[in-house]
Amino acid sequence: MAWTWRFEKADGTETVPAVEPEEFSTQGDAESWIGEVWKDVADGGTDQVTLFEDGTKIYGPMSLHAEEASQESEAEAEAEASEV
């Protein structure tokens, strides 16, 4: 199994990342790597990433902009709270 990231602009077009990506053998390795380099990747012009396992989309797009990610998390938390 190979886990890979797709690097995108906000409109979904693919970008070349500022940090050379690799293929990972586990989801945890892929997530740890993006956790370590996300700031450099964002500073290099990537707005969001999507995780794939052997070409199958697992999740994403996930914003690399902390403010947007925080707002999305707050909105999700509010939606979950209103469902209870």
In this prediction, residue 70 carries a pLDDT of 46
| % of the chain surpassing 90 pLDDT | 70
Name the burial class of residue 43, with classes exposed (0-12), middle (13-18) and buried (19+) by CB atoms within 10 angstroms of its CB.
Answer: exposed
Residue range 36-75, pLDDT digits in tens: 999 999 999 999 999 999 999 999 999 998 765 444 445 5
Query: Structural domain tally of the chain?
Result: 1
- Mean pLDDT (the chain) is 86
Place of tokens 């190979």: 2
The neighbouring-strand residues paired with 7 are: 49
31: left (phi > 0), else alpha (psi -120 to 50), else beta?
Answer: alpha
Percent of the chain with pLDDT over 70: 79
Q: What is the average per-residue pLDDT within 6-33?
A: 94
The domain in which residue 60 lies consists of: 3-83
Q: Which of 53, 37, 42, 35 is nearest to 10 (CA)?
A: 42
Length of the chain: 84
**Total-model pTM:** 0.76
